[in-house]
Amino acid sequence: MKAEILAVGTELLMGQIVNTNAQYLSSKLPDVGVSVYYHSVVGDNPERLKESLELALKRCDVVITTGGLGPTQDDLTKETIAQVCGRKLVLHNESLEDIKAYFKKLGREMTQNNVKQAYMPENSIILKNNNGTAPGCIIEQYDKTVIMLPGPPSEMKPMFDDFVIPYFRKKCSYTIESRFLRVFGIGESALETKILDLVDGQTNPTIATYAKDGEVTIRVSAKVEQGKEADQLLYPVIEEIRKRTGHSLYSEENKTLEQVAAELLMKNNLTLSTAESCTGGLVSQTLTNIPGISKVFMGGAVTYSNEAKEEYLGVKKETLIKYGAVSRETAYEMAEGIRKRLKTDIGVSVTGIAGPDGGTPEKPVGLVYIGLSSEQGTITKELRLTGSRNRIRTITALNVFDMIRRHVLKLEIDTGSKV
């Protein structure tokens, strides 16, 4: 089935928000047999919405709209689509009760304009909104399907996952199952070279790579009949990719590197502390975004100044003078210092030059040292990164997470390579 995702909202055309909904839907629809052929965006204008909808219905089997279901006068999606499909809007009592209950839960008065949200196209499948007020719906119009979803991602995503995915799964004769293999430490072109014959040679499963900030995600997708297992198609390919990527393959479940590192720490009851200079708290902030991390993450120091490095980490003044704040030696003492001070199993450290200023010919922007200290000793790694301050900090943090992962899994750690 061919699909178009039609977003409705002047705020998109004004550039106030990004159309992340289209991305989310696009990434999930192929798995239930729906191929996305077009994205489009129109403003809160009934004429243009009508034209865009008619075009979408002409060129696609499925049209999914996002936005324009709210209580205000601007919100015209439902009215316009009902008109195009020749359906009346009728009061859906259950939705009205839900909306009332929602306001009650928030302790707020429901204003009269909210009732509008409970008027739904007749003979449509109503999609309950568990995270907001506007219900969605599915209209089956001859051989076409129109699906209306709310605009806020926090409402749209769960509604799509809970109701639309199962709806298509039931209709589809086949299903596409995908596995996402995530690799860190091999550049995209190097990785492509490693698996090029697999990418070229396969039609089912298909293989695609996507790179971002030093990480590469490999998507392996198998098309199978409904109810059949995809594993026998996927397994040999994944096994081959495993062989070729080795320990650089860190997740087969599309987890982030910090998630993998955090889970390894939690599973093994290993406590962690962090000592950061140029990342300024990015390592600890990223880790502490993971619920439950407080069981293993004890704390950290963000030591920008030399004084803070001495005061909080016990880095020796002589080390800072002799080797400088950005050096293997300082990274070593920082990792060891934080581990001892906070009495954790593992201490990690970062010191470097994130730029855009502060570089010298000997120590250019992008030179970063990271360290990891444990009872088994302390190791350090030199990174030579390029790009913006933000990119250098991000890739540095990923290297720290990878170092933790490799340490816990007792894998080899390259101590001086570029990424």
**Is 189 a residue that touches a second copy (CB under 8 A)?**
no
**Is 11 a residue that touches a second copy (CB under 8 A)?**
yes
Q: How many residues interact with a second copy (rule CB under 8 A)?
A: 74
**Which residue spans within 82-187 are E strands per DSSP?**
89-91, 119-121, 125-127, 136-141, 144-149, 174-184
**Is 23 a residue that touches a second copy (CB under 8 A)?**
yes
Smallest gap from Cβ 99 to a second copy, in A, equals 18
Residue 300 or 371 having the CB closest to a second copy: 300
Q: Which of residues 49-68 bind a second copy (CB under 8 A)?
A: 52, 55
Residue 235 or 359 having the CB closest to a second copy: 359
Return the residue of 1, 33, 40, 83 that touches a second copy, per CB under 8 A: 40
CA distance 154 to 136: 13
**Is 28 a residue that touches a second copy (CB under 8 A)?**
yes
Sheet containing strand 346-352, strands side by side: 272-276, 346-352, 367-374, 377-384
**Is 294 a residue that touches a second copy (CB under 8 A)?**
yes
DSSP three-state, residue 383: strand
Give the Å distances, CA to CA, from 402 to 225, 259, 262, 372. 38, 11, 11, 11
Residue 402: which of 186, 191, 188, 220 has the closest Cα?
A: 186
Return the residue of 54, 94, 225, 307 that touches a second copy, per CB under 8 A: 307
**Is 279 a residue that touches a second copy (CB under 8 A)?**
yes
Smallest gap from Cβ 271 to a second copy, in A, equals 9
R_g over Cα of the chain: 26
The three-point CA angle 95-100-104 to 5° equals 145
Q: Which of residues 308-367 bind a second copy (CB under 8 A)?
A: 308-309, 311-312, 341-343, 355-358
Residue 137 or 287 having the CB closest to a second copy: 287
CA dihedral 298, 303, 309, 311 (to 10 degrees): -70
Residue 104 or 228 having the CB closest to a second copy: 104
DSSP three-state, residue 414: coil
Q: At which residue do the structure tokens 């550049």 appear?
A: 187
Q: Which of residues 217-276 bind a second copy (CB under 8 A)?
A: 273-274, 276
Residue 119: which of 171, 81, 167 has the closest Cα?
A: 81
Residue 92 or 336 having the CB closest to a second copy: 336
Return the residue of 222, 234, 287, 379 that touches a second copy, per CB under 8 A: 287
Smallest gap from Cβ 255 to a second copy, in A, equals 17
Residue 85 or 397 having the CB closest to a second copy: 397
**Is 36 a residue that touches a second copy (CB under 8 A)?**
yes
**Is 157 a residue that touches a second copy (CB under 8 A)?**
no
CA distance 302 to 309: 8
